[in-house]
């Protein structure tokens, strides 16, 4: 079972002068869920090397069991420090892809042609695509095999407009995740702010916010387990 984890390389929070990147919990918790499932992991980012971590996600009050474990895990830290460049990745080598959030993906992964190609190739060939929080922004320009937006007609979630307003970044981000999913024809749903919420629609798995990272990762592992047990790739992009 081979899972590709795609992280942002973008570190600037718009024109605020503040830093952003990926949200640590949204990466660390799924990382260990995948490792515990004995998946073979590859970490990649647009620029390769060490991707930027959103400093807000490293605050003491944001630390979770997985985050603390990761910080003491030399092997995991070495993997993170040496992500491959997205341009060097062949989607056909992986059984699934996972996108953590943090605001960074809205600036780079949403527009990155290699990221778009990875998502489309995996989805076209019946392999799971999972994204959590702002990671769902990477779906912005993806297309299904029929040329329509990949999310059109599919049940999806992602960081809500209410949550973006709560962190006072509505006017800073290049687009709102909820808006883009709705505008692309997705059947968007959400829970109350900050509560875990994940949605699976065949091979498309999305989570609303950082609290949803465990649910998304577990859903991805279960999807792969079902596919492996049946010996087939399910729910192709023709859906």
* pLDDT (tens digit per residue) in 27-50: 999 999 999 999 999 999 999 999
Q: What is the pLDDT of residue 233?
A: 55
The arithmetic mean of pLDDT across residues 80-99, rounded, is 97
Question: Percent of the chain scored above 90 by pLDDT?
Answer: 92
- Residues 116 and 136: their CA atoms lie apart, in Å, by 12
Question: Percent of the chain scored above 70 by pLDDT?
Answer: 97
Q: Domain 2-230: give its CATH code.
A: 3.40.50.880
Q: What is the pLDDT of residue 83?
A: 98
Confidence category of residue 15, pLDDT binned at 50, 70, 90 = very high
The arithmetic mean of pLDDT across residues 207-235, rounded, is 88
- Residues 167 and 40: their CA atoms lie apart, in Å, by 35
Q: Whole-number mean pLDDT of the chain?
A: 95
Given a cut of 50, whether residue 238 has pLDDT beyond it is no
- Residues 113 and 140: their CA atoms lie apart, in Å, by 12
Which structure tokens are listed for 169?
A: 């970044």
Element (H, E) at 103: none
Give the lowest-confidence range in 159-168, 189-198, 225-234: 225-234
Q: What is the pLDDT of residue 235?
A: 43
The answer for residues whose C-beta is within 8 angstroms of residue 149's C-beta and 6 or more apart is 139, 142, 143, 184, 185, 186
Given a cut of 60, whether residue 184 has pLDDT beyond it is yes
Q: What is the pLDDT of residue 236?
A: 40
Q: How many CB atoms lie within 10 A of CB 175?
A: 13
Map out the domains of the chain as residue ranges: 2-230
Confidence category of residue 234, pLDDT binned at 50, 70, 90 = very low
Which structure tokens are listed for 163?
A: 């949550």
DSSP assigned state of 234:
-
The arithmetic mean of pLDDT across residues 128-141, rounded, is 98
Burial grade of 15 (CB within 10 A; 0-12, 13-18, 19 or more): exposed
């Amino acid at each position: 079972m081979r899972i590709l984890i795609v992280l942002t390389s973008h570190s600037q929070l718009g024109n605020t002068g503040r830093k952003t990147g990926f949200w640590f919990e949204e990466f660390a918790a799924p990382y260990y869920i995948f490792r515990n499932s004995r998946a073979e992991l590859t970490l990649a980012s647009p620029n390769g090397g060490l991707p930027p971590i959103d400093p807000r996600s490293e605050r003491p009050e944001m630390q979770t069991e997985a985050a603390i474990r990761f910080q003491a895990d030399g092997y995991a830290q070495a993997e993170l420090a040496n992500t491959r460049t997205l341009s060097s990745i062949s989607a056909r080598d992986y059984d699934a892809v996972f996108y953590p959030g943090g605001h960074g993906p809205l600036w780079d992964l949403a527009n990155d042609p290699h990221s778009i190609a990875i998502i489309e190739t995996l989805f076209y060939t019946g392999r799971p695509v999972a994204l959590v929080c702002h990671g769902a922004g990477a779906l912005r320009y993806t297309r299904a095999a029929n040329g329509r937006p990949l999310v059109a007609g599919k049940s999806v979630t992602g960081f809500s407009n209410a949550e973006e307003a709560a962190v006072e970044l509505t006017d800073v981000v290049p687009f709102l995740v909820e808006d883009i999913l709705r505008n692309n024809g997705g059947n968007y749903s959400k829970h109350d702010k900050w509560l875990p919420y994940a949605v699976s629609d065949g091979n498309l798995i999305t989570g609303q916010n950082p609290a949803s990272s465990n649910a998304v990762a577990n859903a991805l592992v279960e999807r792969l387990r079902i596919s492996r047990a049946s010996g087939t790739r399910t729910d192709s992009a023709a859906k």
